[in-house]
Structure 1
Amino acid sequence: INNLRDIEQDRKANKKTMAVRFGRKFGLFEVGFLITSAFLLGIFWSFSQMFAASVLPLLALPIARMVMRGLKENEPGPIYNQYLAKASALHLLFGVLVSVGMILA
């Protein structure tokens, strides 16, 4: 999200971030892929008898959806700071929910 937010400044500074090299669409895909892949791990956990660890993280899906929708609907800039903060909260919540799920499993 940071690289998406700073894409224009990074381009001017000749930084070679993935978002600068491949564009905003790729940056959005990358963030979406990383968020989605975390939730897809639940499929693995459900087959390894960690049902709680596969289900509890789904409670964080609304935050993930809010982050992705906000990034897609807004142009990169300072507004992305709020989505960076929400993504940090998502990361923390997801980790806590997985941990609780593993303890319960």
Structure 2
Amino acid sequence: MEPKTYSTIELRKRMGEILDRTRIAGEPAAITRKGKTLAYLVPAEWFEQYVAQGRAAAVGDPRAPVWGGLVGFGRAAAGAGGPGGTADPTPSRCQRRKNL
């Protein structure tokens, strides 16, 4: 199923409707800003299945990044730190402010 695309402005104006379409009708949504996809909104069941499949795939693979209960998802896949991941060498904004 091809996700329907919404800009961040549309999302702000029609949040309830978009959430209902995703939850009730099972329609995924792509959220964009300036023409670039920022995120996908999917039904909770889809995401829960994704997480369960990722955990099952990671069992027995010590190299699989696991962080915050999500396997290979978002920043954890890029090595954001936490158990099983590697720390990001780039300091955060808060860390940079502390160094000033």
Specify which structure has the higher proportion of helix: 1
TM-score by length of 2: 0.32
Which one scores higher on RCO, CA 8 angstroms, separation ≥ 6?
Answer: 1
Specify which structure has the higher proportion of strand: 2
TM-score by length of 1: 0.31
